[in-house]
Amino acid sequence: MTHPISIQNQDFVLHASGVLYWAQRGILLISDVHLGKVSHFRKFGAAVPQRAVQRNFDALDAVLSHFTPKTVVFMGDLFHSSLNMEWDLFATWLGRQSADFVLVSGNHDIISPLRYEALDVEVVEELLLDGFLLTHHPEEREGFFNLCGHVHPAVRLTGLGRQSVRLRCFYQLPLQMILPAFGEFTGSHVLEAREGCAIFALLGDAVLPVTLQERKASGRHRK
């Protein structure tokens, strides 16, 4: 269910749900939950089951129970669009939690920061902590290791007989790690192997380090 790694002499834990736990800081990083997306699509007639809404909150409960973090940092795109009925569910869910909450704002986070602040959620553009730069979009900044989201990274694994499977993954470069999307119904973008990358695929309850041969045409950070 988990896989420990060391980054910049700090201890992190990769979880099969797609969250990243920073042990020294007691921080749980969760990217691209996209709350409200299910209700948004259902409103416009998409055949998305209503129970998918509750699965997001069940999954959040599970990882917070597992790690009992001091702080939860949502790495952008916490909500998919404007307010809908899932905001009230989110407010109720927050009321049951004891951790501190921070939102690193993403491109989908269009709800007013004042609404988050009323729920004791701090909203920031980025965080700088112990040589780490926490952002929504992947960034390069001299002197920092970037933890980010936005891309919804995935890897395509091919087996015998040309069968292939597409799996969400953590995608690590020498100075960057891109977290997978956490939320239900979020989609993913396949990234190719690049020089110096490490890929950790998510399959059920497993975190699987995978080795892929670098291709000449590498995947680009698009979303």
Q: What is the pLDDT of residues 115-127, one digit of tens each?
A: 999 999 999 999 9
What pLDDT does residue 120 have?
96
Which two tokens mark 90? 């989110």
* Cα–Cα distance measured from residue 54 to residue 146, given in angstroms and rounded to the nearest whole number: 31
Q: Considering only CA atoms, which of 72, 79, 78 is closest in space to residue 102?
A: 72
Residue 218: inside a domain, yes or no? no
Does the residue 215 lie in any domain?
no
Task: Tell me if 223 is assigned to some domain.
Answer: no
Q: How far is CA 1 from CA 4, 13, 18, 93, in A?
A: 10, 10, 10, 24
pLDDT per residue as tens digits for the range 146-180: 999 999 999 998 876 677 888 999 999 999 999 99
Q: Which domain holds residue 122?
A: 2-210
Task: Examine residue 219 and state whether it is found in any structural domain, yes or no.
Answer: no
Give the integer Cα–Cα distance in Å for 111 and 34.
Answer: 12
Domain contains 216:
no
Helices (H), the chain: 37-43, 51-67, 85-94, 113-118
| Res. 10: pLDDT tops 50 | yes
CA distance 207 to 179: 13
pLDDT for the residue numbered 36: 77
Instruction: Report whether 76 contacts 31 (CB < 8 A).
Output: yes
Note the pLDDT tens digit of each residue in 133-150: 999 999 999 999 999 999
* 135 falls within a domain: yes
What phi and psi, each to the nearest 5 degrees, are found at residue 162?
Answer: 65, 15
Q: Is residue 141 part of a domain?
A: yes
- The CATH number of the domain holding residue 154 is 3.60.21
**Under 8 Å between Cβ of 196 and 173:** yes
Structure confidence by residue, pLDDT tens digits, 202-213: 999 999 999 876
Domain count, the chain: 1
Over residues 22-38, the pLDDT tens digits come to 999 999 999 999 897 65
Dist CA 135 CA 124 (whole Å): 9
- 9 domain-assigned: yes
- CA 148 – CA 15 distance, rounded (Å): 16
Mean pLDDT for all residues in the chain:
88
